Amino acid sequence: MAAWLGWVIESNWTDPFLFAVYSIVKPISGAAILVIMYGIISQGNYDNALFPYIYLGNAFYIYVGAVMTGVSWAVVDDREHYKTLKYMYIAPIYIPLYLLGRGVARFITGSIAVFITLAAGILFLNVKINFAEVDWLLFFVTLILGVVMLALLGLLLAGITLTVARHEGFIGEATAGALYIFSGAVFPLDVLPEWIRPIGYFMPTTYWLELLRRSLVGNVAQAFPTLASFSNLEILGILFGLSLFFGTISIWVFKICDARARELGLIDRTTNY
C-alpha cells in the first residue's frame, strides 16, 4: 500500500504524456552532459574503456538518488507537506516498512530512468553491450543487493531527517552528491587524491557500481586498476559485508532517532520550510 501511495504521489501531478517526457528528458540530459564532455576531449573516440565506465556508472547511480533519497524524503513529504506522518504513526503499521514502501515508488521511477538512459546509450551513443556476454546472474544479484543496501541507507537518512528541522531536504541530496564523488561513479577512484580514496573503498556503492559494470561489459570494466586485483566473487563478498554493516547501523540509527523524535514530539512538527 505504501508503495502504491508513493507511486500515485510521484505520478499523478500531470497527464501521462507530460510524465513520460519528464521521465525521459531528465535522465537523458544528465547523461548527455557527460557524453558531450567526453566527446569534446576524446574527439569522438567512444571506443575507449573509460566511456562505458562513465556512462554505466552514471546510469546506475540514478538508483542512489532515487531509492536512498526517496525513503528519507517520505518523512519530509508526510510531515511537512501533507502533514500525515502523525496519522501514520498512530496507525497499526510498522513505520520503517512504510517508509521503505514509499521508497519502492522511487525505485520504479528510477528504474524507468535507468532503463531509458541505458537504451539511449546503446541505441544512439555507442555504448557497446553484448547481451550474449552479459553475466545476468551476477547482474541481478548485484542489482537486488544494491537496491536493498540503498533502501537501508535511506532509512538511516530518514531517521536523521526525523530529528532535524529546516534543512532535512538537503540531507539526502548532499549524501547522494558526496557518494557520487567517493564511489567513483563517473571516474576511476585513482583520479582522486590519495588521502581521499580510503573513503571510497569503505563505501558499498563503489563495489556495487564496479560489479554492475563488470556484469554488463566484463573485461572493459576490469581494465581500471582500482579493483582490478579482485575477482567478481571477492567484490560481491565485500559488497555483501559492507551492506550488512551499513544495514545494521541504519536500523540501529533509525531506532534511536525514532525514539528521540517520539520523545521530543517531533513527529507532527512542521517548520513551514
Partner 1 sequence: MDNPKRSNEALLRPYSHKNTGWRLFLSTIIARAYPRIIGQQREVSWLVFDLIMPMLAVIAYVFVYRALNAPEEYIGFVVMGGAMTAFWMNILWSMSSQLYWEKEQGNLALYIMAPNSMMAILLGMALGGMLATALRALAVTLLGIFMFGVTYTVSSYLQLFLVFMLAMIALYGMGMMMASAFLLFGREAWHMANLAQEPIFLASGFYFPIKSLPFWVAAGASIIPLTLGMDAMRQLIFPTGFEYGFMTVQTEILILAVLSVVFVFTAKVLLAYVERIAVREGRITESRR
**H or E segment to which residue 120 belongs:** helix 95-124
Q: Give the three-state DSSP class for 272.
A: coil
Q: Is 192 in the site for partner 1 (CB under 8 A)?
A: yes
The one segment of 98-106, 124-132, 182-190, 209-217 that binds partner 1 by CB under 8 A:
182-190
Q: Do 70 and 154 touch, CB atoms closer than 8 A? A: yes
Q: Tell the smallest beta-carbon distance from residue 133 to partner 1 (Å).
A: 25
Is 188 a binder of partner 1 (CB under 8 A)?
yes
Contact status: 108 vs partner 1 (CB under 8 A): no
**Please, which residue, 77 or 135, has the CB nearer to partner 1?**
77
User: Residue 21's CB: how many other CB atoms inside 10 A?
Assistant: 11
45 is a site residue for partner 1 (CB under 8 A): no
Is residue 125 within 8 A of residue 81, CB to CB? The reply is: no
Give residues 112-131 in contact with partner 1 (rule: CB under 8 A).
none
Judged by CB under 8 A, the residue of 16, 17, 41, 194 near partner 1 is: 41
**Among residues 4, 82, 140, 170, which is the contact residue for partner 1, using CB under 8 A?**
170
Cα–Cα distance, 115 to 240 (Å, whole number): 25
Q: Which is nearer to partner 1, 57 or 103 (CB)?
A: 57
Binding-site size, partner 1 (CB under 8 A): 37
113 burial level (CB within 10 Å; 0-12, 13-18, 19+): buried
Is residue 192 exposed (0-12), middle (13-18) or buried (19+ Cβ within 10 Å)? Answer: middle
Task: Give me the amino acid identity at 207.
Answer: Y
Residue 25 binding partner 1, by CB under 8 A: yes
5 counts as binding partner 1 under rule CB under 8 A? no
Residue 32 touching partner 1 (CB under 8 A) = yes
Does 178 bind partner 1 (CB under 8 A)? Our answer is yes
Q: Which of 4, 8, 20, 36 binds partner 1 (CB under 8 A)?
A: 36
**Minimal distance in Å, beta carbon 18 to partner 1?**
8
Do 90 and 268 touch, CB atoms closer than 8 A?
Answer: no
As given in the structure block, the three cell numbers for residue 130 are 553484448
Least Å distance between CB 191 and partner 1? 5
Q: Collapsing DSSP states into helix, strand and coil, what is residue 176?
A: helix
Which positions from 214 through 273 interact with partner 1, judged by CB under 8 A? 272
Separation between Cα atoms, residue 204 and residue 194, nearest integer Å: 19
- The contacts found for 18-25 with CB under 8 angstroms, 24 or more apart, are 23/109, 23/112, 23/113, 23/116, 24/116
What's the CA gap between 141 and 207, in Å, rounded? Answer: 13
C-alpha cell at 254: 533509525
- Span near partner 1 by CB under 8 A; candidates 39-47, 136-144, 231-239, 252-260: 39-47
Give the binding site for partner 1 (CB under 8 A).
13-14, 18, 22, 25-27, 29-30, 32-34, 36-42, 50, 54, 166-167, 170, 173-174, 177-178, 180-181, 185-188, 191-192, 272
